[in-house]
Amino acid sequence: MLAYSGGLDTSVILKWLQTEYGCEVVTFTADLGQGEELEPARAKAEMMGASQIFVEDLREEFVRDFVFPMFRANALYEGSYLLGTSIARPLIAKRQIEIARQVGADAVAHGATGKGNDQVRFELTFKAFAPDLKVIAPWREWNIASREDAIEYAKRFNIPLPVTAKKPYSSDANIWHISYEGGILEDPQNEPKEDMFTMTVNPEKAPGKPEYVEIDFEEGWPVAVNGKKYDSVELVQLLNKIGGAHGCGRVDLVENRCVGMKSRGVYECPGASLLYEAHRELLFLTHDRDLLRFRQMVAQRYADLAYGGLWFTPLREALDAFVDSCEKRVTGRVKLKLFKGHIHIAGRQSPYSLYDPQIATFGDSGPLYSHADSLGNRTEITAGEVQRMSAGRGVRHSEHNRGSEELHLHQVWFMPRRTGAEPSYAQQRFDASQRRNRLQAVVSGRGVPGALTMDSDATMSLADLDAGAALVLPGRGHGFAYLISGAGSIGSQAIAA
């Protein structure tokens, strides 16, 4: 059972399996949106004597169950690669196993080289679903050492190929992207030839007038373009067309492969690039700082899992559950401006936006915010603002004012407080009834837990507290969180305001 694309490697492998193993070969070609490659692949498999040929349209499943979950996680491998090939392999391999069981195959084969990532992606999925089936990886068995050798083998058996010795790069296409590797691209100093690109126009020759496009999201799922709803496949195809017309979405990357070497790949992903830019803006608009920072770490780990073929794992499923929780507020519309290969943000809106122009304005915010509230945003409360501690409990700061018994407070967090019973983020407003002249603080940490009051003159009673204690000062709708430092160290305790 051979995963067959009709390209150089799998075309040669089909003939090699028939010759070397003397076996019948069943081919499986997945329609993931590569379009015109499908019929030539079927015709080539028939011409070469495949015993059975399966060509299946998996586009909807591909986008719905693989591409969009990865996209909602904001996964980018090494900051640039949108994982178009990586995310396709688990689906192809899973369906390949299902067909292998159906036809009674005793082995599965793939066309990945011993230098690449796809061998890992295919075989991890094979082992997840059918550990009993034999895996044949011809690139690890035969004497063909290069793509030039493979081209010569194909010529010997009259196998028609889209690759030539003058243009020997290989490509992999689906609805999410197209990739190019090998040949003239192997020298990272070489600029790709313009005639290589098929999804995007040369940005220099793109229209001289920008185009605006609006993308709507519901809980992180893209649902509409320019106010019109589309199904997932239609939406990506439309954005490919729009972005490609302006030369958007070209990526040239030297990346770290699973097997430890570096490789150079060139990618076209116009629709994916538009979606990533728009989705990221909604995260900025609807996520607070801590959630956004944590999601950046999750995105990197998610990308590593997808890139390394670890799709069918408990960790990836758990990360999806986390992302689903985060994405419940990622609803809104983003306007993009496309111009000569560039994607600019032209506007964004969400009913769950954390941005409040009445508060952010340089003008008067009225009762919502007082400039005096910024006191808690200072990096350090100086000695003059802190009362000396009681005898015998003094805390010495490790870097400032050595020899004194003064306590220093260092801010670690500053964020709006929620008020009311579970209002939406868009409805939240600061509680103007709380006044600055009388604040209650909660103190916890290594010292004796206690409470203190802060009067309008900012004098604080801090008796019986030890270094490393946490101090939270909830003011007019804000939480000012500090770490108490001293005795040679500064703590690193998380605080909920």
Phi and psi for 9 in degrees, rounded to 5? Answer: -65, -50
Strand 470-474, strand 380-381: pairing: unpaired
How does DSSP assign 268-305, residue by residue?
E-HHHHHHHHHHHHHHHHHS-HHHHHHHHHHHHHHHHH
CA dist., res. 429 & res. 367, Å (int):
10
Strand 470-474, strand 478-486: pairing: antiparallel
Question: CB neighbours (10 Å) of residue 441?
Answer: 18
Active site amino acids: 9, 89, 118, 170
Triad 379, 382, 388: Cα angle to 5°: 135
Token readout for 236 is: 């990506």
201, 341 in Cβ contact below 8 A? Answer: no
CA dist., res. 19 & res. 125, Å (int):
27
DSSP H or E run through 344: strand 342-349
CA dist., res. 107 & res. 100, Å (int):
8
DSSP H or E run through 172: strand 170-173
CA dist., res. 292 & res. 366, Å (int):
29
CA dist., res. 67 & res. 65, Å (int):
6
CA dist., res. 98 & res. 58, Å (int):
13
CA dist., res. 299 & res. 183, Å (int):
32
Query: Nearest CA to 472 among 436, 430, 444?
Result: 444
Token readout for 109 is: 């084969």
